[in-house]
Amino acid sequence: MSIMKSFKLFWRAIKSTRHEMWVSLQVLVATTLVLSLLLYIVEHNAQPEVFHSYWDAMLWSFMGYIGDPGEFAAYTPITFWGRVLKIACALVNIAIFAVPAGLVAGGFSEAMAEDKREKELMEMRECLKKSFRRKQAKKLQLVRTVPRYVSLTDIQVMQQMDTKDIIDAVRSSDEFRLSNLATALPDNRSPQDRLVIETIPKEGHTSYGCCIDRGSNVTIVAPSVYHEVGSGKFAYYLALFGGFNYISKEYDDMPGEYSSYYLMDEEHSTHEKSEFLADVEKLSKGRDRWMIALIVADSVHKEDFHFVTAVKPELGISSTIIDKEEFDRLYQSVAEVMKSDFDLESDLDERYRPMGSKNICFKAGGGKDCNAFTLRVDWDIVAFDMRHERIIFTMAQLIAKVLENRDIEIKREWKTPGFGYIIEKINS
């Protein structure tokens, strides 16, 4: 261990115990003040010239702690109770140095243990990364994609890690997220809890998640991937394959208290959420631009894709779409191809109610400053369907063809082996 690191650990020990040291110092000072008062009371009559005032007694007590180098209190009590109080002050004198020393020693041990644990967690995070090796997508020309999720059991078997180590490694990292796969199934299917780990894109990292500007007129927004298992991969690869901008909210800033889904509630807004919405507006603003908010849909309807554009009448607009003709072409293309190629159904403004004022599509200026719509994808497709990569690629082709009048090609980096999401070289 280097000298610099030793000093850092020592300073960490002091910082971690500063509250306890401050409390102990207050107690010891208060005890000394009380003993000084008692000493003045019992010694004043016996030695009035020595313990002339309470200040003399207090000076004697405190100077004794540092050995009285200036001999400001070179005298001693002569009464029985005065000598008893002298012994009590001597005990406090020991505590004055022993208590902080013990606290610092304990803090130093904890700092060393934390440093050792951090090294272990670093190794464990590297093991977790190995669980997210990119695999060949089925029937997609050797394209390699990251797994949607990996179960804790698989990680325990593959990496020889126990549950506590896995959870600690996830909690100490911003690259992984713990999820429950049971949330992807409706209650009528009696889902069993199954803990899984998801990985988070490192590219375009922000305080709320991920923001990638690819210079496209289309922006894929995933506002609630932190509690929608598998939707992060679906949205990420839809944007990657199509060459679209990508924004995802990967972290829940109010866990256990408030779930925003695709709502932007100003009452619960935080710095991270405001930054998220600002980035959405930045990349999607423009009457020729398109924002697609991708979220999951409960598997209770016969349709698999739900397009939502309608707005509540009281908000002054009827739709978040400006170019309705182009949107109609997109919807018809997606509905026809998904039905013919995958036997998947689509609907438009049928199963879900019109958007309110808190909906991200409306908040981003949909219908006024940009074209925006919500695409709700059935959770079975997002979390379980083995064809999901081909579905994503096909949808990306359709969006690029209709909204940007271009074809997409498989890029070399999509085929590279490795772990986690692909790191692209984006020209700013």
Whether 344 is in a domain gets the answer: yes
Say if residue 27's pLDDT is above 80: no
Say if residue 381's pLDDT is above 90: yes
- The better pLDDT of the pair 282, 66 is held by 282
pLDDT tens for each residue of 158-191: 888 889 999 999 999 989 999 999 888 776 667 7
Q: What is the CATH number of the domain that holds 230?
A: 3.40.630.100
Looking from the CA of 148 toward its CB, the CA atoms found within 13 Å total: 24
Whether 203 is in a domain gets the answer: no
pLDDT tens for each residue of 112-144: 777 777 888 899 999 999 999 999 998 888 899
Say if residue 211's pLDDT is above 60: yes
Whether 226 is in a domain gets the answer: yes
- pLDDT confidence of residue 418: 92
In a shared domain, residues 77 and 221? no
Collapsed DSSP state (helix, strand, coil) of residue 196: strand
Q: Which of 102, 126, 150 is the last residue of a domain?
A: 126
In a shared domain, residues 410 and 317? yes
- pLDDT confidence of residue 244: 97
418 conformational bin, left if phi > 0, alpha if psi -120 to 50, beta if neither: left
pLDDT confidence band for 261 (50 / 70 / 90) = very low
Residue 84 belongs to domain spanning: 3-126
For residue 172, give the DSSP letter.
T
Say if residue 299's pLDDT is above 50: yes
In a shared domain, residues 14 and 104? yes
Q: How far apart are CA 326 and CA 399, in angstroms?
A: 11
Q: What is the CATH number of the domain that holds 110?
A: 1.10.287.70
Q: Which of 126, 146, 171 is the last residue of a domain?
A: 126
- The better pLDDT of the pair 251, 259 is held by 251
Collapsed DSSP state (helix, strand, coil) of residue 264: coil
Identity at 12, one-letter amino acid code: R
- pLDDT confidence of residue 10: 63
Q: Which of 96, 126, 156 is the last residue of a domain?
A: 126
DSSP string for 273-286: HHHHHHHHHHHH-S
- Smallest Cα–Cα separation from 373: which of 260, 291, 273? 291
In a shared domain, residues 120 and 241? no
Overall domain count for the chain: 2
Q: How far apart are CA 345 and CA 378, in angstroms?
A: 10
Whether 79 is in a domain gets the answer: yes
Say if residue 374's pLDDT is above 50: yes
Percent of the chain, pLDDT > 90? 48
